[in-house]
Chains A and B, each alone.
Chain A
Amino acid sequence: MTNGVTNIVVELLPHFEGYVYPNEATPQPLWGVLIVLYPYITGLVAGAFIMASLVRVFYVKALEPVYRLSLLTAFAFLLCAPLPLLFHLGHPERCFEIMMTPHLTSPMAIFGFIYAWYLMAVLLLELWFDYRHDLVSWSNVTPGFKGMLYRLFTVGVTDVSAPAVRLDYRTGHILSIVGIPSAFLLHGYVGFIFGSVKANPWWGNVLMPIIFIMSAMVSGIALCVFNYMVLSWIRRKTVDMKCLDVMGMFLFYALVVDAAIEALDWVHRVYSAEEGFRVMQYMAQEKLFYTLNLGQVTLGTLVPLLLLGSLQLIRKRVPDLGRRRMYFASAMLILTGVLAMRWNVVIGGQLFSKSLRGVMSYKLEFAGVEGWFMSGVLLLLPFVILTVLIKLFLSEKLPGTSVAEGQAVGSEQTSFRSGPLVR
């Protein structure tokens, strides 16, 4: 009888090869698809914010058409960033303990603070200072509920005199400068959560935060390219090719650095060939073959590098339509590739035993809190929020604060306020 029962238990257990610790032989990985999404979404936030900073801090004027779209993208995704983490917790109702009684030696404990700082002190404030002038004008001309919303968002500060607007601009500028290290902190810290796990040779790596920051920038810029092109297509507007070319250029250079650092990581792993190397080699060749070699390396990195790189050389000879298609394809490939990279890190790190003697196979569920369906919903949610935000804050029907008005302030940078930015 005992034998019979044991056999059933063995059959129900997931398949694994070699020896895995008994506690590792669970049917589902401890950190599932939700934890794949968590660094993915956080990375998109950081990247989109850096993209906006290029305009605000580094005065890349060609990118003005996507400045506000990038900020709104960062905001929409930031609102959803903690959701996967929250749903994944065994006791979500105790989540506030992370902020109430943080354990300061834990890389995870600081997330609540960094998140709150980034949301409240950086992104929301920057959006408010950037939009305040417009909100005041819009609240005056928009009737009904929407007008009331705009009035509400002004928080009663309706002074649009030249000095007030200049102060808005200056504060926004400072917030942008503070925002860059904050964005790095937000995502570098996510990298550190994995990089600090010395028990796991796949994760425990000093380069992990830097890899995460670079891949975040790449994915964030790609997301902005994607959003800008899709929005222009929906609105039947012509894409500003100069803006797109500059985005493509930044995307290319970020991707070069990202690919170089990830390659360096692998070169180091292969050359030093430490204790866990054999199992990692097996992972790359067998367990993660498609997502790593095909998804992350070939489609997510090499093909976009080729496409974007060739455009850097022969941009003038490629017609607009061809360039648009190449940029769009690159952005899509990079977005998929970075998702594959997050998968390879999070799931890959749980596919082998910490005994380094065996590997596990999981069949991830479809339904359930940590299933594919939930993950799909959580990945779509930021786009839904972004749609609402675009309808509210990037609407074509809204009058733009005129350039002339901006110039009256006497600052050349006020030309950001040239109304709806998607042309």
Chain B
Amino acid sequence: MSCPPVSRRSVLGRLGAVVAAVIAAPIAKAAKATVQKVFVSSGAPKGYDPRQHKWVMAIDANKCIGCGLCAEACKKENHVPEGPYFRTWVERYIITKPKPGSGMARGETLVDCPGGGIHGYPEAPVPKEEIEDSFFVPKLCNLCHHSPCTQVCPVGATFDAPDGAVLIDPKYCIGCGFCIQACPYGCRFFNPLTRTAEKCTLCYHRITSSHHLKPACVEVCPTQARVFGDLLNAGPDEPIRKFYQNNRVMALKPHLGTEPRLFYAGIDKEVR
């Protein structure tokens, strides 16, 4: 039995193919990364490495006084258009006392948030003596582990950055609105000026700057109800670590499986 003849040409050809494949693999990888860079951009400055950080925010609702400065600062900082467009807002919850003889543990839950809470709140719609409890809840992107908004984007214009922020590339977004429908927390909106989806970026331009700025809402909060930190670099005494140590925390709409990374302390079951 004779083996088929192996020619030099065929051996060289095969060797060439292997070498080409070895060379091509990193080139393909680099090309893919370049294409992604061309198409999607986080807007972070050069030199910022998103893999070295894990940004997160936490809310201590016990401390929130409903001044609305955070919502106002956010609008100014991020040039959010006037009208019903908010990257962050503050809700007011009023839980009334139960009607005598109703057999209920609590009364009604009334929620409002006129103008995002920027201009304050009107008189409570029920007399003071009928109110069981009242509190404020700042809302923003819930920084989900399993973000339904990034999952549904048809082009990948919105994405989970390695540093924990959920971003949108406005130059790439086609403005279909699917992500806005998919966000269970109402945190996204359609910007009528750019005609793209928009959301809280944790003030990405501030947190990635070399000055290590905090998000505008955190910066202006007079009571430190908003706690911001970097989970990869936070020491045990940093506010974000203290927040987790000192509080029992809750996330919004946990049954949806989005696993928010934004935790709340001091909120009620009525908050959603």
**A residues touching B (Cβ–Cβ < 8 Å)?**
2-3, 6, 9-10, 13, 19, 21-26, 30-31, 85, 88-92, 94-95, 97-98, 101-103, 105-109, 111, 193, 196-200, 275, 349-350, 353-357
Contacts and interface: CB of A to CB of B under 8 A. Distances in A.
B111 A90 contact: no
B175 A89 contact: yes
A106 B152 contact: yes
Q: Which of B110, B148, B155, B173 neighbours the largest number of chain A CB atoms within 10 Å of its CB?
A: B155
A402 B84 CA distance: 66
A355 B186 contact: yes
B114 interface: yes
The 4 closest A-B pairs by CB, nearest first: A90-B175, A21-B186, A90-B195, A199-B184
B181 A90 contact: no
B172 A97 contact: yes
A408 to B, nearest CB: 51
A357 B173 CA distance: 30
A258 to B, nearest CB: 25
Which interface class (under 10, 10 to 19, 20 to 34, 35 or more) fits B?
35 or more
A101 B39 contact: yes
A279 to B, nearest CB: 12
B175 to A, nearest CB: 2
Interface string B158-185: 0000000000000011111110111111
A350 B113 CA distance: 19
B55 interface: no
A98 B182 contact: no
A182 to B, nearest CB: 20
Contacts of B183: 199, 354
Interface string B187-203: 11110001110000000
B242 interface: no
B134 to A, nearest CB: 14
Nearest to A350: B181
B259 interface: no
B196 A90 contact: yes
Contacts of B256: 198-199
Contact of A97 (B111, B174, B255): B174
Interface in B67-90: 82-86, 89
Central interface residue in A26, A85, A103, by most chain B CB within 10 Å: A103
A30 B174 contact: no
B186 A98 contact: no
A13 B84 contact: yes
B262 interface: no
A199 B187 CA distance: 12
A25 B152 CA distance: 23
A108 B154 contact: yes
A354 B185 contact: yes
Contact of A106 (B112, B178, B196): B178
B256 to A, nearest CB: 6
A403 to B, nearest CB: 49
B193 to A, nearest CB: 11
Given A89-B174, A90-B174, A355-B272, A19 B153 contact: no
Contacts of A97: 39, 154-155, 157, 172, 174
Given A22-B116, A26-B84, A198-B148, A109 B155 contact: yes
B119 interface: yes
Contacts of B239: none
Contacts of A89: 174-176
7 contacts: A90-B173, A91-B195, A98-B154, A98-B155, A103-B154, A198-B148, A199-B183
B260 interface: no
B152 A91 contact: no
A292 B145 CA distance: 37
Contacts of B85: 23
Given A23-B186, A108-B178, A355 B152 contact: no
Contacts of A2: 119
A13 B115 CA distance: 11
A30 B177 contact: yes
Nearest to A111: B154
Nearest to B92: A19
A357 B94 CA distance: 13
A108 B181 contact: no
